[in-house]
Structures are given as structure tokens and as C-alpha cells.
Structure 1
Amino acid sequence: MEKSYMSVFLLLVALSCALAKDALKKETKETKETKPKLPQTLSRGWGDQLIWTQTYEEALFRSKTSNKPLMIIHHLDDCPHSQALKKVFAEHKEIQKLAEKFILLNLVYETTDKNLSPDGQYVPRILFIDPTLTVRADITGRYSNRLYAYEPSDISLLFSNMQKALKILKTEL
């Protein structure tokens, strides 16, 4: 009789240990999935071979001192529209080549500078700033209610706006 109680007891201990291990594995997996994933590089997937600045202040300084226009991409990691635009932007060879002529910054947070959200804080939005630190309000996307918004289908417009930002700079020199 004592042996049967002991067998049942050992069986229950073994079963509870196995269930506890499964629960711990599940909890660890869920914790990993809910933790934010930190970006590997400053590009955050927008073009790993490009040189990106870390802060808005650094980008402004580099734009002014190098006499290159600044392109700022506002986006969010969990926004499907931002992800779709990022994919098209990163795969577009001409845009990647042209982007080398810019000081680049991508932001996953809003800045306190109201010049960077002239018509609201939405994502994705892309603004161009010339080396005199003037936001180019004349270089916009195709939407009247979100002037600086671009969708994947607007990639050719974005490319032409990048060219426009560079041409304006050349004519001012």
C-alpha cells in the first residue's frame, strides 16, 4: 500500500515538474514576443548601406556643414503603412543611389520641433530640409490633407522629389 502511495506521489511530482517547464517555456516565449525589437542599425531597414544620422540635431549640423539637403523619414516600426513604404524604399535601387547625396535621418518618435510636423504628426511622412535649415514646404507628396505622406505607389514621386531637393540646392549655389 505504501509503495502505491509513493508511486502516485512520484508520478505527481514528475507531472508537475513537466508542466512547470512547459509553462516557463511558454512565458519566456511570450515575453520575447512582446519585448520591443531594437534596431540593428540606424537605417532601421531603410537602406543598410546608407549613412544615417542618429539625432535630429546631428542631422541639422551635418546638413549645414556639408551643404547637403537633409531628408527626414518619420515612421513607426509597427505601422503597416510605414513598413510597406520602407520595403519599397529599400528595394528601389535608384532611390538608394540618390539617397547617398543626402544627410539621412529616420525617426521612430516625434520631435518637439514644430517645423517637422507642419501639417500634423502622422506616419509615414518625409520632409526635406535644405542646408540653410529651411523646411522645403514646396516639396510635397500627392495628398492635400497629408502633404508629406507617401505610399508605396508614390515611390516615383518620392524619387522625383528627391531630385527636386538636389536641383534646388544646385541652383542656389
Structure 2
Amino acid sequence: MQTSLVNIAVFSSLQVLLSLSCFHQVVSAASGRGFGDNIHWRTLDDGKKEAEASGLPIMVIVHKTWCGACKALKPKFAESRDISEIAHNFVMINLEDEEEPKDEAFSPDGGYIPRILFLDPSGKVHPEIINKNGNPNYKYFYSSAEQVLSGMKEAQEKLTGDAFRQHHPGDEL
């Protein structure tokens, strides 16, 4: 009798641990929201704090769960090894549905989706960094991994280190 109570207790404990493990995997998978679970995604508030502390630029993806163009971009983005590698040089923020900021700076040429914007480490949107290979009417719309990578490289060049300080000398301490 005592052995079966121990077995029940052990089995129950394993079930709890297994369900917590599965819950953690679901939460982790949700953070990438289809754009790549291998990237460390942050919320807007946490991302801004981290960028300010680290000096890294920010990349923001604004998308909706129901959007066909967003769904089309997700696997291209998630499967790109190049994006995954360069993402380490950014604070990556993934904003879905109601998380989209109401601030007009986050929709510089309209509220279409998906939009990818780049912010400097202080959290200021840089509307001059656009998809140069995309539609000029939708400057922040990216439809391929190559376009995203090109934007990330431009943002990295303009918003990090010496290049950024030369253009924004007042930002130095």
C-alpha cells in the first residue's frame, strides 16, 4: 500500500513537471510568433530599456495574426540564417495585434502591415531607414529575407558605434 502511494506521488510530480515543461515550450514558441524562436524577442518596454543600457539599435516588427502578407514573411524571416546571425546586433521587438504602439512615429507613412522599423539605442524611430528595394509607397514593408537583411545592415551601419556618434554628437556623455 505504501509503495503504491509513493508511486502515485512520483507519477503526479512527473505529470506536473511535464505539463510545466510543455507550458514553457508553448510560451517560448509564442514569443517568436512565427518570426523565429531562435531570436531573443523582447516587448517594446523591455527592448527600449535594454537598448538604452546596451547601446544596441532596435528592430521592430509590427504585424497582425490575420494578415496574409505577415504570414508570408514569417517563414522567410524565420528560416534565414543571415537574419538570425545579425539579430544578435539588435534588440529585437515583435509587436502583434493590439501591441502596436499608437505613437505616430511607428507609422511614418501609414498603418499597413507588416512594417519593420529601426530605432536608435535611445528609442527614437529612424524613418530614413527604409526598404530601398521595395514599393516606394510602403517604405517599411519588407517581403523577403534579403530585403530585411539589407535594412538590418543599413540600420547597423547608421545606428551603432562611431558612425552613429559622428551624426549625433550631442548623444555622447
RMSD: 1.9
Secondary structure of the residue that 1:100 maps to in structure 2? helix
Could you tell me how far 1:86 is from its partner in structure 2? Answer: 0.8
Distance in 2 separating the partners of 1:172 and 1:120: 27
The size of the alignment, in residue pairs, is 134
* Residue equivalent to 1:48: 37
Q: Does 1:121 align with 2:133?
A: no
The worse-fitting range, judged by mean Cα deviation, of 80-89 and 141-150 is 141-150
2:139 pairs, out of 116, 122, 147, with 147
Distance in 2 separating the partners of 1:67 and 1:132: 8
2:147 pairs, out of 139, 157, 160, with 157
Could you tell me how far 1:74 is from its partner in structure 2? Answer: 0.8
- Output the amino acid matched with 1:97: E
Q: Tell me the TM-score normalised to structure 1 length.
A: 0.71
Distance in 1 separating the partners of 2:106 and 2:53: 20
* Residue equivalent to 2:8: none
Q: Tell me the TM-score normalised to structure 2 length.
A: 0.71
Distance in 1 separating the partners of 2:95 and 2:146: 22
**Which structure would you say has the larger Rg?**
1
Could you tell me how far 1:84 is from its partner in structure 2? Answer: 0.9
Distance in 2 separating the partners of 1:159 and 1:143: 16
TM-superposition CA deviations, 1:20-66 (whole Å, max 9, x none): xxxxxxxxxxxxxxxxxx88431112111111112x22211111111
Unaligned runs of 5+ in 2: 1-26, 166-173
1:105/1:165 CA distance change after superposition, 3 Å: same
Distance in 1 separating the partners of 2:80 and 2:33: 16
Runs of 4+ with deviation above 4 angstroms? none
* Residue equivalent to 2:81: 93
Distance in 1 separating the partners of 2:122 and 2:45: 14
* Residue equivalent to 2:21: none
Q: Does 1:103 align with 2:95?
A: no
- Output the amino acid matched with 1:147: K
